[in-house]
Amino acid sequence: MKIDAIKINGFGKIKNKEIELKDGINIIYGENESGKSTILKFIESILYGIAKNKNGKDIPDFDRYKPWDNSEFSGKIKYTLDNNEQYEVFRDFKKKSPIIYKANEDISKEFAIDKAKGIRFLEEQIGIDEMSFCNTVMMRQQEVKLGKTDTDAMVQRISNLVSSGDDTISFKKSMDKLNKLQNERIGTERTRQKPINVVISNLNKLEEQKQKLKECQENSVHQETEKEQIKAKITELQEKKQRLKESKQVVNDDKIKNIEMQLKMKSGIGMMLVLILILVLLLVIVQNKLFAIIPAIILGLNIFGILKIRQNTRMGNSNFDISKIEKEIEKIEEEISHLQFKNHILDSEKANLDEKLEQLARIEEEIEEQNCIKEELVSLNVSFEIAKECLQNAYDEMKHHLSPKFEQKLCEITSSLTNEKYKNVVVNDEKGLYIEVENGTYMPVDRLSIGTIDEMYLALRLSILAEISKEKLPIFLDETFAFFDENRLKNILCYLQDQNYDYQILIFTCSNREEQVLNRLKIEYHLINLEN
């Protein structure tokens, strides 16, 4: 893939700028603040779109590069793929999707559309996304500057390239980070106070409370049964009491009848005695038999005695029945009172149980919520395990297919840049990069000079492109050689030339050092002076 031309209508502080590019090496020269980095960002934004969110920055790229005077915010780029098919991309940055032209025909609909980023034409054409594109073909001054101030960081980048194919991705750090996130967001059986531990502890406590309240629930059912039994018993006793009252009334009625009968009997006895007396008197008067009065008196007394005994017997029986009934009624009333008191206690206990049963309902809801949280954590844990498995598989695939190529390329680069002083470089997953020295032992690569490490990093990054892209992509070097001395700048340019790299190279620089070295080496290049 080669970029043929750039047209900037408005982007940042650049307006109405057209740039023609050639095959091979292109030097874009300009003083500081002349817009070199802006042009590089324009190319990236044309190809992949521009972000409207901050993504960790102070302001979004969209707001940063939008012209202050609200003029046209757009541009076009023309490029040719390895199969010699030429395309033009016009993008109005205020709109989501660009317009893709081939032979002056709009072919935008031929490409997949992403809801967030619009048409993803370049991913289909070259096979890599924006992040991979920026992390491989675009090398900025800050990256090499980081290597100057922190050797370990640069060695880590080289190690990342060899082990993962991306200098920003460390397999070990990625796996460690996944494990750390998994531990923080979920936890394990051995951890404490982590989400999974907290939710399991909560569930255990809630289940204990639930079991206790379940006993209360059973007691409530038992109480309801007991209350029904008490109610039935009270009803039965009240009915029995009513029958006893009715029996008492019957006895009372009999007693009244007895009294009436006694009165009648007393009246009858009196009459009988009077008649007997009259009869006796008549006998005495008529027959003058005085002795006849004695049997009459004895007969009267016997009749009176018999009636008296019968009367007393009836009265005694009547009094005994009433007393027994009243005692039975009193006993029933005491039993009813006892049952009513017991029922009152059950009502009081029921109010307390009802409150606990409401608490049981709340606890069951909490258990359901905690189970939902647990299910989410379990699901998230499964996701982490899948992610780790995918990462491990990708790493194993990389180590099996690509890492040997990268290691071989790294050895070739190191040997070429050090005039065959160092020929063998190995990558250790735990310890990083090691290099074989003259006596045959291995020492950490960070023992080399920072300049040599920079050269290894840059050359290896260039060589990795053939493995990750469908196309031979252009290489963008933004002040990449600012910290290279003359000798190392010569080495890296000679390396590119000697290896016959068939890449378009765009060097953004504010000095003429690259021109001078290329002129001395008689290497052809195309110069674009932004000052003109």
Q: Same domain for 122 and 234?
A: no
CA distance 297 to 281: 12
pLDDT at 62 over 80: yes
The pLDDT value given to residue 43:
95
The pLDDT value given to residue 404:
79
The pLDDT value given to residue 326:
77
| Residue 255 located in a structural domain | yes
Q: Same domain for 3 and 122?
A: yes
Q: Identify the H or E element spanning 435.
A: strand 432-436
Q: Same domain for 123 and 2?
A: yes
Claim: this prediction has a pTM higher than 0.75:
no
Residue 324 CB-half CA count within 13 A: 8
| Residue 104 located in a structural domain | yes
State the average pLDDT over residues 173-191: 88
pLDDT at 49 over 60: yes
CA distance 293 to 67: 160
At position 196, the amino acid (one-letter code) is I
The pLDDT value given to residue 426:
81
Instruction: Output phi, psi for 529, to 5 deg.
Output: -100, 110
pLDDT at 253 over 80: no
The pLDDT value given to residue 287:
61
Whose structure tokens read 């009094």?
319
State the average pLDDT over residues 441-458: 78
**70 or 337, which is more confident:** 337
| Residue 313 located in a structural domain | yes
Of 295, 329, 354, the domain-final residue = 354
The pLDDT tens digits of the residues spanning 27-40 come to 999 988 888 989 99
State the average pLDDT over residues 137-166: 61
pLDDT at 153 over 80: no
| Residue 527 located in a structural domain | yes
Residue 375: how many other CB atoms lie within 10 Å: 11
**Most confident option among 105-114, 316-325, 337-346, 391-400:** 105-114
What's the CA angle centered on 232, arms 226 and 233, to 5 degrees?
A: 90
Q: Are strands 113-114 and 118-119 parallel, antiparallel or unpaired?
A: antiparallel
The pLDDT value given to residue 402:
65
pLDDT at 144 over 50: no
The pLDDT value given to residue 135:
74
| Residue 119 located in a structural domain | yes
Of 354, 380, 414, the domain-final residue = 354
pLDDT at 390 over 60: yes
Residue range of the domain that includes 525: 1-127+469-532
| Residue 462 located in a structural domain | no
Question: How confident is the prediction for the chain on average, in pLDDT?
Answer: 80
Query: Comparing C-alpha atoms, which of 444, 503, 510, 448 is closest to residue 482?
Result: 510
- Token pair, residue 207, equals 């289940």
| Percent of the chain topping pLDDT 70 | 75
Cβ-Cβ contacts under 8 Å for 235 (sequence gap 6 or more) = none
The pLDDT value given to residue 423:
84
CA quadruple 375, 381, 385, 386: dihedral positive or negative?
positive
- Token pair, residue 105, equals 């025909």
The pLDDT value given to residue 453:
77
The pLDDT value given to residue 487:
82
State the average pLDDT over residues 357-380: 87
The pLDDT value given to residue 57:
81
The pLDDT tens digits of the residues spanning 157-173 come to 666 766 666 666 777 88
The pLDDT tens digits of the residues spanning 191-247 come to 888 888 888 888 898 888 888 777 766 666 677 777 788 888 888 888 888 887 777
The pLDDT value given to residue 149:
45
pLDDT at 421 over 80: yes
**Secondary structure, 3-state, 86-148:** EEEEEEECCCCCCEEEECCEECHHHCCEECCCEECHHHHHHCCCHHHHHHHCEEEHHHHHHHH
Of 337, 354, 371, the domain-final residue = 354
| Residue 103 located in a structural domain | yes
pLDDT at 380 over 80: yes
Cβ pair 50, 118 in contact under 8 A: no
Counting Cβ atoms within 10 Å, is residue 413 exposed (0-12), middle (13-18) or buried (19+)?
Answer: buried
The pLDDT tens digits of the residues spanning 256-306 come to 776 666 666 666 665 666 666 676 666 666 665 555 556 656 655 555 555
- Looking up residue 508, the CATH number of its domain turns out to be 3.40.50.300
pLDDT at 412 over 70: yes
- Please spell the DSSP secondary structure of 345-364, one letter per residue: HHHHHHHHHHHHHHHHHHHH
Query: Comparing C-alpha atoms, which of 455, 476, 452 is closest to residue 465?
Result: 476
CA distance 144 to 477: 11
| Residue 101 located in a structural domain | yes
Number of domains in the chain: 2
State the average pLDDT over residues 438-462: 78
The pLDDT value given to residue 14:
92
Q: Same domain for 235 and 347?
A: yes
